[in-house]
Structure 1
Amino acid sequence: MASFNFTGVSGSRMGDWRRHAIYFAPPQGSELARFGAAWLGWDPAAGAVVARSPNALLPDAMVAEPARYGFHATLKAPFRLTGSATTDDLDAATARLARALAGCELRLRTAALGGFIALVPVEVPGELIALEAALVRGLDEFRAPLTEAEIARRRPDKLDAGARAHLARWGYPHVLDRFRFHMTLTGSLDAPETALRALTNATAPLIAAPMPVREVCRFSEAPDGRFHLVRRFPLQA
């Protein structure tokens, strides 16, 4: 195994992974991480389904889509590895970038974004913008080109010219100048206002203090479509 510094939790055999992503996840064992797992019913660090909180405000169907990804914020969106790349290569490059990147702290709030609810920063520090840009650009050599089906799933006809250009160049439309850090709590809701009020109250104690962003994570997709938190990489600049 390579000598770079990371911590990891294995959730599936490495050869089974379908796609990989670089996400932010709350610190392991934190109250926010426990809340995310209980809210969505999936603990990506343990690689296990967990009983949803008995006071869950929404039925399972309304959190099913974010649940399979685990509680996170996207930094480098899911991608298939190029034919010659390995997960060891990806991990080594991610660790190398992380050593040169700075962490930060985020004050969070609950917000409705286009029909779904997420935790978002009150203000976005420059370190976070630099972190996302470095990962998007620095790891793109490991990303296999999108297939026609993958492009179609992004509905490029609904994107503006800038987002379509990002999709073509980086495999994801919401990057760089379109990046918006968010930790998704629900799928699309017809009327998010009631759920937003309830989730604002439920999450208020968990986000009263700033959240540290001190590491990034490799999440990987198992054959059943669920993502597992496989590696954590500390930010060391």
Structure 2
Amino acid sequence: MRYAVYFTPAEDDPLTVAVNQWLGYNAFTGENVPYPQTIAVQPGRMSAITAAPARYGFHATLKAPFRLAENFTSSALVAAFDVFCRQQQAFDLPEIQIGQLGSFFALVPAQPSEKLQSFAAHAVEYFEPMRAPLTEEEIARRKPEALTEVQRDHLMQWGYPYVFDEFRFHMTLTGSVQGTDRLAIQKELEAYFAPFAGKPLTISGLGLFVEEDRGAPFTIHRWQPLSGGAD
């Protein structure tokens, strides 16, 4: 079993509802969701395009998937997660947009945010004592030979290459999209997410996600608002 700490809006947030429909999966319920009828892409093609991000649910990675350290229980992790959320204040990203990272599309901030970078770094450090060391197999899955030296160092020390200076907030919407598909899918994304693009996104709460078995869909074990130190 693996856990992950991800940002995701609340279950009833309009953005969550829209992305769940786009991905065809709701991590809050663990159930598949019908694709929007407004999308001019056949369901079979949508399934192929969204299969990779749908397995993880709608999210932005803060603490990447990890196994629990031997001296931690799941109940201890939940308690620590609740404390972390009570200690953090919600904050806004001024604007989000559809962005392209390599060959996939995601929702990304329109401008850099020092507050976001600091928040993400704090989450990495806070949950690190609860993470079991990576196995050789887990390290190999990250293809360390393709990483930069800094990313390899992060992988070995923190279990994930893209932390601190390498962190780029993104909420993945597609898998790899190549060739002539790219422009068509970009147009669909821009039309579908037009109500959200160019507007603020509130970092309002976190989800403690769980993967019961390797390769299984992630579900949200617990969602908590960022309540800014309230008891």
**Amino acid in structure 1 at the alignment position of 2:83:** R
Indicate yes or no: 2:83 matched with 1:96. yes
What SS does structure 2 have at the residue aligned with 1:163? helix
Alpha-carbon distance, 1:99 to partner: 2.3
- String of CA shifts for 1:172-191, please: whole Å, max 9, x gaps: 00011111110100001113
Indicate yes or no: 2:65 matched with 1:75. no
Q: In 1, Cα distance between the equivalents of 2:212 and 2:196?
A: 30
The equivalent residue for 1:64 is: 51
Gaps (5+ residues) in structure 2?
A: none
In 2, are the aligned partners of 1:31 and 1:206 still within 8 Å (CA)?
no
Indicate yes or no: 2:163 matched with 1:172. no
Indicate yes or no: 2:112 matched with 1:124. yes
Indicate yes or no: 2:135 matched with 1:147. yes
Q: Which deviates the most, 151-160 or 81-90?
A: 81-90
In 1, are the aligned partners of 2:2 and 2:67 still within 8 Å (CA)?
yes
- String of CA shifts for 1:104-152, please: whole Å, max 9, x gaps: 1121100111000000001233221121111101111111111111111
What SS does structure 1 have at the residue aligned with 2:52? helix
Alpha-carbon distance, 1:208 to partner: 4.6
Q: Which deviates the most, 58-67 or 181-190?
A: 58-67
- String of CA shifts for 1:39-58, please: whole Å, max 9, x gaps: 11110011211222234435
The equivalent residue for 1:112 is: 100
Say which of 32, 46, 49 aligns to 1:49: 32
**Amino acid in structure 2 at the alignment position of 1:105:** D
Alpha-carbon distance, 1:76 to partner: 0.6
Q: In 1, Cα distance between the equivalents of 2:195 and 2:125?
A: 36
- String of CA shifts for 1:3-49, please: whole Å, max 9, x gaps: xxxxxxxxxxxxxxx11000011222122111111111110011211
Q: In 2, Cα distance between the equivalents of 1:234 and 1:139?
A: 17
The equivalent residue for 2:208 is: 218
What SS does structure 1 have at the residue aligned with 2:209? strand
**Amino acid in structure 1 at the alignment position of 2:69:** T
The equivalent residue for 2:222 is: 231
What is the TM-score when the length of structure 1 is the normalising length?
0.88
Say which of 170, 176, 193 aligns to 2:183: 193
Alpha-carbon distance, 1:200 to partner: 1.3
**Amino acid in structure 1 at the alignment position of 2:142:** R
- Give the number of equivalent residue pairs: 220
- String of CA shifts for 1:195-237, please: whole Å, max 9, x gaps: 1222112101133531211111101112361001111222233
The equivalent residue for 1:12 is: none
Q: RMSD between aligned alpha carbons?
A: 1.5
**Amino acid in structure 1 at the alignment position of 2:224:** F
**Amino acid in structure 2 at the alignment position of 1:189:** V
Q: In 2, Cα distance between the equivalents of 1:157 and 1:55?
A: 42
